[in-house]
Structure 1
Amino acid sequence: MNLKADYIQQLRSSYKGLEKEPLEDFVSENLISPFAVTLSPNVIQKAQKIISALYNMRQQPSYLAHYQNLIAEKGLKDPGNKSIMMSYDFHLDEHQNLKLIEVNTNAAFLILGYEMYRMKGHSLAVPDFNPEEIRRSIETEMALQGKKTGPGFKVAITDDAPSQQRLYVEFLAYNELFKSFGWDSRIVDYRELYKDFHPDFIYNRHTDFFLTEPSSSILREKFLNRDVCLSPNPFEYLMLADKQRLIDWGTPGFLEGQGLAGEDLNLVRTAVPESFDISTNRADEIWASRKKYFFKPKNAFGSKQSYRGGTISRSTYEKIVGQDMIAQEYMPAPEQTFETPEGPQTFKYDLRCYAYQGRMQLVLARIYQGQVTNLRTPYGGFATVKF
């Protein structure tokens, strides 16, 4: 079986507009893993409950009130809509408890993951999910701004130099999907928006999360004025995905103050890792116990500028002290062993649970070897999950 060729054929059969695209150049050799991670059904149930509990908390008036000063400081306003195709990324501990690594409003691979399940013939963790739900999510996003997706509805898929992105193939797939809904859809560099194309809705994959870069000024203005429905957007990032929220959620009494109780409280409390600022007044204390922690930026994506405490050098550590970084309880990635042509090999993995609002949509694993998730491990990559 040629996994890459089979996957490309799956994409071309699902999205006819991709037949003439050079997908062989866009699908990397280690994008898709031949393996499936096997887990207890209890894991998926817990993941859904954690996602639902966190989203319900985010919806509480007390939660929004708690962040009013921060919202004003960031110059933001509630746009009404939320964030499509976001994810909650987890590790599993030795007791099969889910540990929340991060909330990601900018998550990749939902539609590609769905097609991977179809290619492999594996059952979905959420059996009734399909691409029509993406359409309904966008319609809901528009409705939350008092708008509709009528005739001539214009959609832009945007990022920084989209055609140069590692997962450009995903943008191509979404573009064909949106066109199949009868929408005028285009892939547009965020700097080119509103020059020749004025979208009603933007699927935003640009990683300037707060739109503070000068080159994002037009997009920020359109977003703040509600001239466009932007999803994901800076407000939802602030509410859920800024890593400062992990610090807040772990503060004693915070979750209870937002109405969490009973099983929801216990699940979220267990899932949220110990997290805190790497402050100068605690620098020596943190260094002494560094092996217990993973250091990461509050507002970066992927594994950029992230360091495992057990391997960070003193000089590098001193450079990040007092910066916009957090120390997060180090939770080793779970492992599974698979039979490869070279013999048994052990791989690390994490779980990516996609959701819109409080509903989980798809679950994938990212299989890898090394310190952090990557798409360079032979036999690694995105994988299906069997429960």
Structure 2
Amino acid sequence: MELVVQAIEAAAALAPFKERTLSWAPEIAGFDPGPIGAFMGCDFHLTPDGPRLIEINTNAGGAFLNAVLARAQHRCCTPPLQDASTNGLLDGFEGAVLAMFHQEWQRQGRDSVPARLAIVDDDPQSQFMFPEFRLAQQMLEARGIETVILDPSELDYTNGVLTARGRPIDMVYNRLVDFALEAPNHRALRHAYLDNAVVVTPNPRVHALMADKRNLILLSDARTLREWGLNETEAGYLEKAVPDTRLVSAEDAETLWSNRRRLFFKPVAGHGSKGVYRGEKLTRRVFEDILKGDYIAQNFVPAGERTLRIDGEVTTRKVDIRLYTYAGQLLLAAARVYQGQATNFRTPGGGFAPVFQV
């Protein structure tokens, strides 16, 4: 999985790949201030033939929670059999996160360190991941970076300075799902970002290059990637790991409908499993809506399963693996345990789970 992540990073750095992805991205993605995106997330299903990449996310949530969870559980999970790499990641997590934010800061031409960082999301206290925001705040403040948690409506951009609550904001850890910063109450952040007045990570360009669902069409086309200059080894990793993906088009409606049981449909700008459909469960009415929207169709890869005990009863749950990465390097691995057609946190006995290498 780490090698697949590094191959994705190599593909995304190719000039033809950038040109193609930016061709369907919003205009704001053309601005390149330098940062490459904090907390990239790559989600995999485990199969008998190896891992399969299901999705790439630019603001992957859960890393801080999973670090706490893994530390709480690692003593009970047969410690003598654990590979040292698992504990190495946990021991070095805070240092790696701090280095990541410093690098993002420096990639935009800043020196020293940011004095004040804002974790920004819409109505953050109502967000499912709000406890993680607090963990991130505590960690960053313990290392000398004043950190606030804000709704974007609290930001003001005047005379070239982004402020909140009357004080300057140097850096934004962006957890918004408005990836192009188009909403009216995101206007101050958008203007400050485009004026290079604040460092934003992850930013709209990173989302366009890495996480737009249409990019999976390119990543599943190993022949084209080879023609664009990706080396044989990296192209081979992607060829094996990335399910065939195509853009949904009304012209292909008949073929898509007849093959729907082997497909999974996702909105190109979707997030959090919203608006996704497993083909075999599609009704004609929903399929017609998909044809009118911006969707991709990805070859369906069943999730792996794990056996667990819930309230004394042995049962099975689906599981996927998320790698949190920066610049292609692993920060942490975690699992998500769930039931249903898409990942969710409502399943009894489900949610995040630590991953231990043995």
Among 373, 377, 386, the residue aligned to 2:343: 373
Q: TM-score, normalised by structure 2?
A: 0.89
Q: Are residue 125 (structure 1) and residue 86 (structure 2) matched?
A: yes
Matched with 1:282 is: 252
CA distance in 2, matches of 1:138, 1:386: 26
Q: 3-state SS of the aligned residue for 1:291?
A: helix
Q: 1:298 aligns with which of 264, 268, 271?
A: 268
Match of 1:343 among 298, 313, 337: 313
Is the contact between residue 275 and residue 328 of structure 1 (CA under 8 Å) also seen in structure 2?
yes
1:178 has 2:140 as partner = yes
Contact kept? 2:22, 2:209, Cα under 8 Å = no
Query: 1:71 touches 1:77 (CA, 8 Å); kept in 2?
Result: no
Which amino acid counterpart does residue 66 of structure 2 have in structure 1? G
Selected match of 1:89 from 32, 37, 43: 43
Name the residue aligned to 2:152: 190
Could you report, residue by residue, the CA deviation over 1:135-192 in whole angstroms, capped at 9, with x for unpaired residues?
Answer: 1111101111110244x71100000000010111001111111111111210010121
Could you say what secondary structure the match of 1:371 adopts? coil
- Cα displacement string for residues 319-368 of structure 1 (whole angstroms, at most 9, x for unaligned residues): 11031111111111111112344332111000000000110111101011
1:53 aligned onto 2:15 = no
Q: Displacement of 1:70 after TM fit?
A: 4.5
Corresponding residue to 1:144 among 87, 90, 107 = 107
C-alpha contact 2:261 2:278 (8 A) present in aligned 1: yes
SS of aligned partner of 1:321 = helix
Q: Please give the secondary structure, in 2, of the residue aligned with 1:310.
A: helix
Of all paired residues, the percent bearing the same amino acid is 32
Does 2:211 match 1:264?
Answer: no
Tell me which residue corresponds to 2:160.
none
Q: Which residue of 2 is the match for residue 37 of structure 1?
A: none
For the 8 Å contact 1:126–1:362, the answer to whether it is kept is: no
How is 1:1-387 mapped onto 2 (pairs within 5 angstroms)? 47-67=1-21, 69-70=23-24, 73-74=27-28, 76-95=30-49, 97-121=50-74, 125=86, 127-128=88-89, 129-150=92-113, 153-194=115-156, 195-196=164-165, 197-251=167-221, 253-387=223-357
Give the ranges of 4+ consecutive aligned residues of structure 1 lying more than 4 Å apart after TM superposition: 65-75
2:87 & 2:239 partners in 1: Cα distance?
A: 25
Let me know the Cα RMSD of the aligned residues. 1.9
Which residue number corresponds to residue 159 of structure 2? none
How many pairs are equivalent?
339
Give 1:76's aligned amino acid: G
Query: Aligned partner of 1:322: which letter?
Result: K
Q: Distance in 1 between matches of 2:141 and 2:324?
A: 23
Residue pair 1:111, 1:131 contacting (<8 A) in 2 also:
no
Q: 2:37 is paired with a residue of what secondary structure?
A: coil
Name structure 1 gaps, 5 residues minimum: 1-46
The answer to whether the 8 A contact 2:248-2:297 is kept is yes
User: Residue 65 and residue 290 in structure 1: after superposition, are their counterparts in 2 closer, same or farther (change >3 A)?
Assistant: closer
Structure 2 gaps of 5+ residues are: 76-81, 157-163
| Shift in alpha-carbon separation, 1:72–1:241, aligned structure 2, 3 A | closer
Give SS of 2:209's match: helix
Distance 2:195 2:74 in 1: 45
CA–CA distance in 2 between the matches of 1:203 and 1:316? 36
Secondary structure, aligned partner of 2:347: coil
Asked if the contact 1:278–1:322 (Cα under 8 Å) also holds between the matched residues in 2, the reply is no
**Cα gap change, 1:100/1:146 in structure 2, threshold over 3 Å: closer, same or farther?**
same
Q: Which residue of 2 aligns with 1:29?
A: none
Deviation string, structure 1 residues 193-251 (Cα, Å, up to 9, x no partner): 23424311100001001112222222111112211110011100000100010012223
Residue 121 of structure 2 contacts residue 150 of structure 2 at CA under 8 Å; is this kept in 1?
Answer: yes
Change (3 A) 1:232 1:371: same
Q: Aligned-pair distance for 1:81?
A: 0.7
Q: Write the distance in 1 (CA, Å) between the matches of 2:150 and 2:329.
A: 29
Classify the secondary structure of the residue corresponding to 1:127: helix
For 1:24, the equivalent position in structure 2 comes to none
Distance across 1 between alignment mates of 2:22 and 2:306: 44
Q: SS of the counterpart of 2:88? A: coil
- Inter-partner Cα distance in structure 1 for 2:54 and 2:44: 5
CA drift of 1:121 comes to 2.1
Shift of 1:262: 3.0
Asked if 2 retains the 8 angstrom alpha-carbon contact of 1:292 and 1:330, the reply is yes
